[in-house]
Structure 1
């Protein structure tokens, strides 16, 4: 086997380490021969850290923006490459699919090398098990990324599970979706077996609970109509059981404060990453905060999402918001589901002023949240509050970095609860499903009226998932796997103009912000054409995604 050189971007300190070396972390790439890496536990750990870090370094913008803009809960006016995606103007030479495809396969090849070596390092004991389990998890993670963006409807991706030399022919045909899903399950099962429990693990390293959560997510996607057109109940039963296994483990719990989930470490967070402001950074705040708070507002909430938050009536019942209801229309933000105010900044809501105090959001024509920078002001009348750092303006205004310091959450326990509820609903077990939906609604800071089994229609579940997981990069994938993308995404998106009378009392005028075009081919991103051409030189039958 030829020697190769590994470029290891050493992972950020929030990952923790298996050793206690104080000089473990470096801010420059380290070059090590393959034989050195695979014969030294500390260097092998750096290689595994590289797999973890690369999911952030090379796809940060994609995860923050594309996976939200793909849905109908946000829109954009300033991030042109992502607007291209949202409007269906992408093509096989666009940078977004190229980055996603090529980065994932780079990491998969690294994982294959690590797995082939770590399997034989039994003398490393529990350190070997942890590193091996993490590597199995990360290979599954990258294959899930590929399947989510490029697969589905029985189309998988090239499945490479063996270590290869650089000169080996790695150009193989696409496997079926089911074959790829089974490979993901196999890797996650290995991770579950090898990894320690969350309580025994270093914060933010893959652990048994995280692997169980990703298996439950994969099973849900595989059971959904896009990938299960015959509605095979066995797939739903399997998905339900994988989610229930994690619930029964009691590894995680719902945090009492919904808004606080995204700002602090708490028992609901499962998998996340955090900026170290040096090697790895995420810029969520720059993308979501008002220009009056030094944001650039790359993505903003749509009226379609705002209208999804229920209204609590005087009799205590929760009903759908309705612009044709005079009371609703005159006070559109009054008595709404508390998750609305925790997730979205609207005219008259309270936010920080950057000096340790508070101010009111003003999106009227002369308001500071519009006039501070017209280029970056919201076109819809709303800004994202969920996950926004209240200290961002003060910190950056005094010369601090523009990167965010809050957790970028990739999985939390609330999703697992909803995944299980969806499986139960698909299996016709509404009485059991409503119990789990009500767990989400009865969170102490939310306290929405409980639903009865006969009130939990499929549409109401879909809405519950939409508001609970808003801006968490689920909506795009959810609508696709439900087979509803053509209906939901080919539409106009709206916002409001806020008009003030002589005494400053607001009235709200609905407006169309943009018209989205979503061709059916957008359900799968195009495989980069350069890769298709190279693979076809060895495998002429290799299939580009339909429509591209």
Structure 2
């Protein structure tokens, strides 16, 4: 039973007549007329739904983990302007962009008007999560921190540099969330202090700031047990509807078949399972080869059967049974341990980095890594992240942040690190919102 959602006015969906940033969330009245912001906060959680599948598809189908077969969808594997396609815009980039700005507006309302410090902490977490997704996908983005933005001042629509968004919005919001929240929300799927700290560590890693990332990630790994967070003994027990909100999860976007979201197309678990005609056989041969390499010494990688099915050329990681109720895992401890290993290694603590890396390998049934030296350990961690997190929406963003996307995927134009801004936003802003180079 999903316990975040109230009965929102789902029939009052926003129409795309103006920029999403300028629209008031439909489920709320004017902020001056509200005393209880519970429903507004739940709306901020709810709007994360429609961001899930676009982020998951970008994370795996844009990378060397998965592929599509029916045009124009193979454009995800062509690193050129083909991604700027009307169908792809409407199915992926427009719903993502729209949903995240709706979540931001609901969060702004809570932050600006609620007197409940916990609600404000959760709203800041969700606003940071929304902007983090937007920056990873689009780079420079429009920033609004007001509950009721001006509908006449178009200057607020000008895209702000990604680094400014990190430093002026995402990082301060997460720092505030860490201070405002405890960890009581973990069992109910709400934002928590440890979840906010995990995200802050991920943000610093995305920025390439390993010095700042290391203490944040260390704090999460070292305090996880006290918060009731731990690696699942059995890798398979992380995934599937029956395992939602298990002890490894730091934050997940909760999804329920009984609560329809604004994303009107196939969901993330359907794409990876091969249930959509655009990707009947989504498994990329490169990922099979990666698992073969992990077992080259005669060992059995226990993640293999959970992650890939060579007979159907798909991924059973999120089983068809219970599919519409699969939560989307935004952060889990296995991810954070590997990021911590990476930060340690980049900060020249190679021995401790191997200790963290081997925690994940041990759970996978593999012997300790024999990598030696910073460069070799860097490669070993990257390989482990691919196998550990396949079909969870991480691979493409890992390749981009580590500067290895062009080498691994065989393209040269770094313009295509970013997705195209939805054309509806450019048009409705009368060109104040600009397009990314290359599209």
Query: What TM-score, normalized to structure 2?
Result: 0.83
The aligned counterpart of 1:117 is 113
Q: 1:311 Cα deviation (Å)? A: 5.4
The aligned counterpart of 1:340 is 304
- Give the counterpart of 2:175 among 162, 176, 189: 189
For 1:202 and 1:341, how far apart are their aligned partners in 2? 28
- Looking at secondary structure, tell me which structure has more strand per residue: 1
Q: Deviation per CA, 1:449-507, whole angstroms, max 9, x where unpaired?
A: 112451753222211111111111110101111222222223xxxxxxxxxxxxxxxxx
Secondary structure, counterpart of 1:411 in structure 2: strand
Q: 1:27 to 1:34 in 2, by over 3 A?
A: closer
For 2:95 and 2:185, how far apart are their aligned partners in 1? 35
Residue 272, structure 1, aligned to residue 252, structure 2 = yes
- Contact (CA 8 Å) 1:288, 1:295: kept in 2 or not? no
- Give the counterpart of 1:61 among 45, 50, 53: 53
Q: 1:205 to 1:520 in 2, by over 3 A?
A: same
- Give the counterpart of 1:242 among 204, 216, 223: 216
- Give the counterpart of 2:164 among 172, 179, 201: 179
Q: 1:404 to 1:534 in 2, by over 3 A?
A: closer
- Contact (CA 8 Å) 1:489, 1:518: kept in 2 or not? no
Q: 1:338 Cα deviation (Å)? A: 2.1
The aligned counterpart of 1:256 is 233
The aligned counterpart of 1:203 is 188
- Contact (CA 8 Å) 1:274, 1:408: kept in 2 or not? yes
Q: 1:139 Cα deviation (Å)? A: 0.8
For 2:424 and 2:185, how far apart are their aligned partners in 1? 44
Q: 1:35 Cα deviation (Å)? A: 4.7
For 2:41 and 2:404, how far apart are their aligned partners in 1? 38
For 2:206 and 2:29, how far apart are their aligned partners in 1? 39
- Give the counterpart of 1:288 among 242, 266, 272: 272
Q: 1:159 to 1:134 in 2, by over 3 A?
A: same
Matches within 5 A, 1:349-368: none
Secondary structure, counterpart of 1:15 in structure 2: coil
The aligned counterpart of 1:496 is none
**Relative contact order: is structure 1 or structure 2 higher (C-alpha 8 Å, sep ≥ 6)?**
2
Q: 1:26 to 1:141 in 2, by over 3 A?
A: closer
Secondary structure, counterpart of 1:410 in structure 2: strand
- Give the counterpart of 1:84 among 72, 75, 93: 75
For 1:159 and 1:92, how far apart are their aligned partners in 2? 25
Q: 1:26 Cα deviation (Å)? A: 5.9
The aligned counterpart of 1:527 is 421
Q: 1:238 to 1:60 in 2, by over 3 A?
A: closer
- Give the counterpart of 2:44 among 48, 51, 68: 51
- Contact (CA 8 Å) 1:421, 1:436: kept in 2 or not? yes
- Give the counterpart of 1:448 among 361, 366, 370: 366
Q: Deviation per CA, 1:497-520, whole angstroms, max 9, x where unpaired?
A: xxxxxxxxxxxxxxxxxxxx7853
For 2:319 and 2:202, how far apart are their aligned partners in 1? 26
For 2:330 and 2:221, how far apart are their aligned partners in 1? 18
Q: 1:289 Cα deviation (Å)? A: 3.4
The aligned counterpart of 2:287 is 305
Residue 468, structure 1, aligned to residue 432, structure 2 = no
Q: 1:60 Cα deviation (Å)? A: 4.2
- Contact (CA 8 Å) 1:16, 1:202: kept in 2 or not? no
- Looking at secondary structure, tell me which structure has more helix per residue: 2
For 2:372 and 2:42, how far apart are their aligned partners in 1? 48
Q: Deviation per CA, 1:299-335, whole angstroms, max 9, x where unpaired?
A: 62211111112557xxxxx647xxxxxxxxxxxxx74
The aligned counterpart of 1:218 is 203
Q: 1:200 Cα deviation (Å)? A: 5.6
For 2:2 and 2:259, how far apart are their aligned partners in 1? 12
Rg: which structure is higher?
1
Residue 479, structure 1, aligned to residue 399, structure 2 = yes
- Give the counterpart of 1:70 among 56, 62, 65: 62
Secondary structure, counterpart of 1:419 in structure 2: helix
Q: 1:459 to 1:536 in 2, by over 3 A?
A: same
The aligned counterpart of 1:367 is none
- Contact (CA 8 Å) 2:31, 2:113: kept in 1 or not? no
Q: 1:419 to 1:195 in 2, by over 3 A?
A: same
Q: 1:463 to 1:115 in 2, by over 3 A?
A: same
- Give the counterpart of 1:406 among 326, 331, 342: 326
- Give the counterpart of 2:409 among 489, 504, 509: 489
For 1:52 and 1:184, how far apart are their aligned partners in 2? 17
Q: Deviation per CA, 1:389-409, whole angstroms, max 9, x where unpaired?
A: 4x46xxxxxxxxxx5333321
Structure 1 residue ranges (4+ consecutive) displaced by more than 6 angstroms after TM superposition: none
- Contact (CA 8 Å) 2:342, 2:353: kept in 1 or not? yes
- Contact (CA 8 Å) 1:15, 1:205: kept in 2 or not? no
The aligned counterpart of 1:398 is none
Q: 1:286 to 1:106 in 2, by over 3 A?
A: closer
Q: 1:171 to 1:81 in 2, by over 3 A?
A: farther
TM-align CA RMSD:
2.9
